[in-house]
Amino acid sequence: MDHAAALEQLFGLKGQTLSVNLSKEELFHAAIENDKGRIRPDGPDDDQKAYPTKLGVNGPLVYYTDPTCTGRPVKDTFAVARPSIVDKVWWKKDFQQFDPDKFEALLERVVAHLNEKKGTLYVKDLMCGWDASYAAPYRFVGEYATHALFAHNMFPKEVPGADDSDDRRWTMLNVPSFHCDPDRDGTKSARAVIMDFEKRVGLVVGRADYCGVVKKTMFTVMNFMLPDRGDLPMHCSANVGKRGDCAILFGLSGTGKTTLSADPERRLIGDDEHAWTDSGVSNFEDGCYAKLIDLNKEAEPVIAAALSMPGTVIENVPPLPGKTMEECDPQELDLTDSSITENTRFSYPLSCNPNVMPDGKGPQPETIVLLTADAFGVLPPISILEGREVMYHFISGFTSKLAGTEVGITEPQAAFSSCFGAPFMSQKPSVYAKLLAEKMEQQNARCILLNTGWSGGAYGTGKRISIKYTRALLDAALAGELDPGKVEFEEHPIFGLKMPKSCPNVPSEILNPRNTWEDKDAYDAQAEKLREMFRQNFADNGFAELGIEPVM
């Protein structure tokens, strides 16, 4: 069935000009010419949204989102609450129920809007996942060529041996020009991101044109589908060492997930979304979506080089003062400029990285790393976790926000995100925690809690643990040098964590964090305060009722 017939059968779309599977160069030119919308708070809805740099088609496309959507619109993200799935989904404030009848009526109105408009829709046929056993066909259909180019960067184009039949295909219909009426449509605002797990449809409407929606919607879908197969979807980075040893690194923003996985001695599988199956670890994606704000080009040479490569997409970075974007070389752009948003972004293919695993796959993992950046200064730099401790810390998903990073935050604040990616976890968190524990047991994988945060005091008093020591701790763990029987351990009296007493190339006195504080009583009080935050989060989320054992 051709694309026009398939889209008419699925949605009732007819009369549009379909631009199907254009090349990156064609999408680049189409985006500059045709992508129109609001890019300034008081601006019109027909501003140009995509621009070339000085490099033209031989460089990146620079794209500006609606100013109200410089990140994922979590309060406007839903799933259709059909009876077949309503008891399985983990409903929460950033993933709410949408009435099935309201959804059908809304979809009908969106299609009527497009049929009346008779404009151009960009169609891109892709796959989500590099493992043929689960890879899902993904068809992007949308009004913006930029989004089709972003999808081209971020997803595999074909996966040998995968079933790409229509009865498995997910279709995203992305229509920024349709604005919802909350009273009529059942939305919270004039925009919405809605997934229909039963009909395999993702609907994006209104001012929800942040590129990350095109990627994270499919991640949420995979998080719903894969556990039923016994596969574990993960919000993590992953790499492989020279021995063929695979490591998975879970972590929230600012914990070092991308930095630590970019190791010249190890080959990258991916930096964000993966599955752990019976055949090993595989990337969902074929690209990276990196933060650009304050990018250190010396520390991140791959991203720095990719900024000038053709077909990549720079999001929400302003031109240089007094210049148009067409006059700017991408290497000259001010990556500290947060005047549009702190969340400036960059999409580039994995192939920009010279040190990647072929076909986005790796073997069974030997080491699981749970990353945290403790700004309270009390967690050990490294702890060895076992069994129920793994499930507890995985389901807690702890890191901390720093004083000064948000208005009103004057001291560190705890941030908990189950499975290190709660907004995208569409089934209940215990499903993923139990799968992780089962797979670790099957593979006899080790697990470490690696703290990249503060030592000698909280943020503002102590110092951040040196990246040199963090890498040495990680290297030792990956090499098995901290396994039971290889070193002596002591138990933390408040957290119950098992801390090694020594590690190659790391001063032994920092391994117990209490040693690094001058005021030991102040340390104990701060540690007890953080422990209570863990306990409160555990109770507030009802994790005990989900079968998770408390370990603190």
Active-site amino acid positions: 72, 216, 235, 253, 257-258, 272, 345
Cα separations in angstroms, 260 against 202, 475, 495, 504: 33, 10, 25, 18
Cα separations in angstroms, 356 against 169, 302, 342: 28, 11, 28
d(CA 163, CA 134): 8
Question: Do 263 and 325 form a contact (C-beta atoms < 8 A)?
Answer: no
Q: Name the amino acid, one letter, at 34.
A: N
DSSP percent split of the chain into helix, strand, coil, nearest 5: 30, 25, 45
Question: Do 451 and 380 form a contact (C-beta atoms < 8 A)?
Answer: yes
d(CA 6, CA 287): 28
Neighbouring CB atoms inside 10 A of 97's CB total 13
Question: Do 122 and 145 form a contact (C-beta atoms < 8 A)?
Answer: yes
Q: Is 48 exposed, middle or buried (0-12, 13-18, 19+ CB in 10 A)?
A: middle
d(CA 234, CA 274): 5
CA nearest neighbour of 489 among 380, 412, 409, 397: 380
Max alpha carbon distance in the chain (Å)?
73
Q: Which residue has the tokens 């209104």?
A: 206
458 Cβ contact partners less than 8 Å away, ≥ 6 residues apart: 375, 376, 377, 411, 412, 526
DSSP characters over 265-326 = TSEEEESSEEEEETTEEEES-SEEEEE-TT--TTT-HHHHHHTTSTT-EEESPPPPTT--GG
Q: In terms of DSSP bridges, do strands 170-175 and 136-142 run parallel, antiparallel, or are they unpaired?
A: parallel
Alpha helices, H only, 12-50: 24-34
- 466 secondary structure, DSSP code: P
Q: Name the amino acid, one letter, at 247.
A: A
Neighbouring CB atoms inside 10 A of 246's CB total 26
